[in-house]
């Protein structure tokens, strides 16, 4: 099996990983690092459950990313948004707006919403729905999720980087 050594920063921790070249970032996070906050939904980039943020502001499907091609990059996942035990503004809003039912889409939704607010701190409803087009929810019907993002935008700090 072909493996490669990769330097990766995951949620603020600098790691040196040895990964098979055909391993996806999703597999690395869940199986090698035991970080199961990022979910496997479809494996083909259609459901968004595996959404992570790369280099502070770029949302990507971890299931379609080969870890071996991510040398030197920084990855933020849902648990990386928690600072000193405190949920982020987006995470809090998902809780307070009951935008979570089974919870499976939630980490992906939270990551995508976070990357949206980093670029556009005051999105319209249409912009929110458009930006969440790549995240599928089978439970909520999306309205509570949209409300959560709108609520989060009211208190979202002016930061440029999800890793801050």
Partner 1 sequence: MSSRILPEFELKTPQSVDETLELLATYGDSAMIMSGGSDLVVAMKMNLSPDTVISISEVAGLDKITYAPGQGLRIGAKVTIAQVLQNDAVKELYPALWQAAEVFATPQIRNSATVIGNLLRGSPAGDCSCAILALGGHIVLQNQNSNRDVSIDDFWTGYNQNARKGDELAIEIRLPPPSAQTRTIFKRMTRVNEDLAKINASVRLEMDGKLCKGARLAIGCVGPTTMRLPKTEALLTGSEINADILASIADMVATEISPIDDKRSSREYRIHVSGVLVKRLVQQAIN
Residue 133: φ, ψ to 5°:
-60, -25
User: Is residue 126 near partner 1 by the rule CB under 8 A?
Assistant: no
Whether 39 contacts 109, CB under 8 Å? no
Q: Of the two residues 89 and 131, which places its CB atom closer to partner 1 in the complex?
A: 131
What are the φ/ψ torsions at residue 124 (nearest 5 degrees)? -80, 170
CB hemisphere CA count around 91 (13 angstroms): 14
CA-to-CA distance for 113 and 37, rounded, in angstroms? 16
Q: Does 56 bind partner 1 (CB under 8 A)?
A: no
Residue 24 touches partner 1, criterion: CB under 8 A: yes
Interface pick for partner 1 out of 22, 86, 138, 160 (rule CB under 8 A): 22
Measured torsion, CA atoms of residues 42, 45, 49, 54, in degrees rounded to the nearest 10? 150
Shortest spacing between CB 35 and partner 1, in angstroms: 19
Residues 58-117 touching partner 1, rule: CB under 8 A, are: 58-61, 63-66, 68-69, 71, 112
Residues that bind partner 1 (CB under 8 A): 1-2, 4, 20-24, 43-46, 48, 51, 58-61, 63-66, 68-69, 71, 112, 131, 133-135
């Amino acid at each position: 099996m072909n493996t490669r050594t990769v330097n990766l920063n995951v949620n603020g921790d600098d790691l040196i990983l040895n990964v098979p070249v055909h391993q996806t970032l999703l597999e690395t996070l869940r199986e090698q690092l035991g970080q199961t906050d990022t979910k496997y939904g479809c494996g083909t980039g259609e459901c968004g459950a595996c959404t992570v943020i790369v280099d502070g502001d770029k949302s990507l499907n971890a299931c379609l990313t080969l870890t071996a091609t991510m040398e030197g990059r920084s990855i933020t996942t849902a648990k990386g948004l928690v600072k000193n035990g405190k949920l982020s503004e987006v995470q809090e809003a998902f809780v307070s707006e009951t935008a979570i039912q089974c919870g499976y889409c939630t980490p992906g939704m939270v990551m995508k919403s976070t990357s949206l607010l980093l670029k556009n701190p005051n999105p319209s409803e249409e912009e929110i729905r458009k930006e969440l087009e790549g995240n599928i929810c089978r439970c909520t019907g999306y309205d509570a999720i949209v409300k959560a993002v709108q609520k989060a935008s009211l208190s979202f700090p002016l930061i440029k980087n999800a890793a801050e």
